[in-house]
Chains A and B, each alone.
Chain A
Amino acid sequence: MGLEFAFWIMAVVMVGAALAVLYLRNVFHAALALVLCFIAVAGIYVTLSADFLAAVQILVYVGAISVLIILGVMMTREVQKGNPVNKMRLPAAIVAVVLLGILVYVVTSTPWGISAQDPLTPTTMPLATKLFSENGFILPVEIGAVLLLAAILGAIVIIREKKK
């Protein structure tokens, strides 16, 4: 009962905040709505008993990515211009609604093989074993580190002022 309550609250907050990202006039307010949406997603992770990922969601998305986005909003000084739409509004709405319909139809009509077992909690230690063990995901973890390094270097190169 409590879980259902938490799910519906998080779902309503999440969808409302996502719509606010689209429809708020002020770009800075849209960034704040995005933060609210990330927090609601972390709540959804908690209801799915993914405790470690909920913490990572708060740390990475609410902590780091939202700060980057707010920095981008400040640096580009487009706050007062609002949140205009282009002329692809109707086709994009049709694409989004059709995709939503297809996804909902597929999800509701597929017989999922739901397991009877309870999910593993707490997840931190099993996740670490999975990520770092010999026959686990250690190679993707190292590739992820290289990818982050490349992204940092690429961002610095792109953003650097050209010396004249």
Chain B
Amino acid sequence: MSIGLTHYLVLSAVLFCIGLYGALTRRNAVIILMCIELMLNAVNISLIAFSSYIVPQLLTGQVFAIFVMVVAAAEIAVGLAVVLAIFRHFSGIDTNDINLMKW
């Protein structure tokens, strides 16, 4: 059984769901950022798989993946700045303690 588009898409779905589960359950804010990176990588895998199986000569999905990487770099920079600011304010990054805006 040769490797096809479905294999890549299922792999991407598995990685996305692992990242989703981690982002929803972990209490350490840095781990949550790592899980968000996992989810972005999963989306990139599916974009590139679509690009090389559906439109092999056009590379559109790879261009989109480049933009996802740009946004991921911006996101991790701002996210870590926010995490460090929270650490300075609460002297901890446990998300259970960060409940200022909780109703």
**CA of A156 to CA of B85 in the docked complex: distance in angstroms?**
11
Q: From the candidates A3, A41, A73, A113, name the one contacting B30 in the complex (CB within 8 A).
A: A73
Closest CB-CB distance, A86 to chain B, in whole Å? 5
Q: From the candidates A34, A49, A131, A156, name the one contacting B37 in the complex (CB within 8 A).
A: A34
Mostly helix, strand, loop or mixed at chain B's interface?
A: helix
Residues of B within 8 A of A148 (CB): 70, 73-74
Residues 22-61 of chain B: 1 if any A CB is under 8 Å from the residue's CB, otherwise 0?
Answer: 1011111111011101100100110011011111110110
A155/B81 in contact, CB under 8 A: yes
A119/B56 in contact, CB under 8 A: yes
A15/B14 in contact, CB under 8 A: yes
Closest CB-CB distance, A109 to chain B, in whole Å? 10
For the complex with contacts A4-B3, A120-B56, 18 further pairs of A-B residues with Cβ separation under 8 Å are A7-B3, A21-B31, A27-B28, A45-B48, A48-B51, A65-B72, A78-B30, A78-B92, A83-B31, A104-B10, A107-B9, A115-B55, A119-B52, A119-B56, A123-B62, A130-B63, A144-B71, A154-B78
A: residues with CB less than 8 A from B are 3-4, 7, 11, 14-15, 18-19, 21-22, 27, 30-31, 34, 37-38, 41, 44-45, 47-50, 52-53, 56-57, 60-61, 64-65, 68-69, 71-73, 75-76, 78, 81, 83-86, 88-89, 91-93, 95-97, 99-100, 103-104, 107-108, 112-115, 117-120, 123, 126-127, 130-131, 137, 140, 144, 147-148, 150-152, 154-156, 158-159
B: residues with CB less than 8 A from A are 2-11, 13-22, 24-31, 33-35, 37-38, 41, 44-45, 48-49, 51-57, 59-60, 62-63, 65-67, 69-78, 80-85, 87, 92-96
